Amino acid sequence: MSALLVVEDVVKRFGGVAAVDGVSFTLDAGQVLGLIGPNGSGKTTLLGVLAGTHDPTSGKVTLDGRTASGRGAHRAVSAGIARTFQTTRLFGTWTLREALRLAHGERRGRPGWPDEQIANLLGLGDALDRPGASLTSAAQRLAMIALALATGPRVLLLDEPAVGMDGTEAAALAAAVRRAAGELGVAVVVVDHNMQFLMPLADTVLVMAAGAVLASGTPAQIRSDEAVIASYLGEA
Ligand SMILES: Nc1ncnc2c1ncn2[C@@H]1O[C@H](COP(=O)(O)OP(=O)(O)OP(=O)(O)O)[C@@H](O)[C@H]1O
């Protein structure tokens, strides 16, 4: 069976800078990929290419065999790729249920999951009928993931979801992401600098340096990779 998401030799240049410089990887349904690397190594730019906000300079991204890159963010969502942002201010006075209903509009005929299932997976069962602003900041971050899942994606992109969380909150987030990936079969790409959060969560880890792939493998392989320790993990 071929992979759900195939990233082939993606390059993204900004003028003379190759922010992403020939990155390839594949991802299966239900798999969690951790994307790490020093500041400026190209992680956010790569997420932008996957999310359709950046056109790749060359290379392509295919989802289920169909080209998903280079067609804009809206088309990427329609193709089944959803991302979260670091903001949590999108639905202050709305309840989570109201916000989820709006997100259903982005399914474009794709099947989705019941709001209760999504909320329960993320530990937000009691939060469905509360205004977003009344939730803790950690719960608001989980709610942003719930909104992305309400679009019925095949691939979920998470940009530093554990920022500002303490160890307990980050562990709860990791467990929630694992449940969502396993139960819904969504492939997940997570960028985060918090290794205590990311390493137990990821099935595979891709390490970027200066736009290229420095290493990829299981979390255990990455932790013991000399080049990764020298360039990144030694400081993390
Ligand atoms: N819109 C842009 N225009 C010009 N250069 C850019 C643009 N976006 C990113 N870059 C450059 O591309 C490189 C990669 O940046 P990127 O933000 O993708 O790295 P990152 O790994 O996500 O970093 P961080 O961990 O700090 O978020 C950097 O040199 C950055 O300055």
pLDDT value of position 86:
65
Closest-CA residue, ligand 1 atom 18, reads 42
Q: Is pLDDT of 101 > 70? A: yes
- β-pairing, 155-159 vs 81-83, is parallel
ipTM above 0.85, yes or no: yes
Beta strands (DSSP E) in the chain are: 5-14, 17-27, 32-36, 58-63, 66-67, 81-83, 155-159, 187-191, 204-209, 212-217
pLDDT at 87 over 70: no
Decide which of 72 and 166 is more confident: 166
Q: Residue 1: its pLDDT value, please?
A: 61
What's the pTM value of the predicted model, to 2 decimals?
0.93
Q: Which domains, from first to last, does the chain contain? A: 5-90+155-233 (3.40.50.300)
The radius of gyration computed from the CA coordinates of the chain, to the nearest angstrom, equals: 17
**Ligand 1: residue whose CA is nearest its atom 6:** 14
| CB of 196 shorter than 6 A to ligand 1 | no
Kindly give, in sequence order, each residue whose CB lies less than 8 Å from that of residue 206, ignoring residues fewer than 6 positions away.
23, 25, 33, 34, 35, 36, 213, 215, 216
Going by pLDDT thresholds of 50, 70 and 90, the confidence category of residue 235 is low
DSSP-derived pairing of the beta strands 32-36 and 187-191: parallel
Residue nearest to atom 11 of ligand 1 (CA): 19
Average pLDDT over residues 146-153: 92
Q: Inform me whether the pLDDT recorded for 6 exceeds 80.
A: yes
* Strand-pair category, 187-191 with 155-159: parallel
If you average pLDDT over residues 73-83, what whole number do you get?
84
- Tell me how crowded residue 210 is: count the other CB atoms within 10 A of its CB: 15
What number does the ligand 1 atom closest to the CA of 42 have?
Answer: 18
- The stretch 67-72 carries a mean pLDDT of 81
Q: So what's the pLDDT on residue 35?
A: 97
CB 14 within 8 A of CB 61: no
Instruction: State yes or no: pLDDT of 74 exceeds 90.
Output: no
Whether pLDDT at 123 is above 90: yes
Our answer on whether the CB atom of 42 is closer than 6 Å to any ligand 1 atom is: yes
Residue 186's CB: how many other CB atoms inside 10 A?
24
Atom of ligand 1 nearest to the CA of 46: 18
Question: Cα–Cα distance between 5 and 94 in angstroms, integer?
Answer: 34
CA dihedral sign of residues 216, 222, 228, 233 = positive
Percent of the chain with pLDDT over 70: 96
**Per-residue confidence band for 208, with pLDDT thresholds at 50, 70 and 90:** very high
Q: How far is CA 78 from CA 75, 143, 225, in A?
A: 5, 21, 38
The atom number, within ligand 1, closest to the CA of 44 reads 22
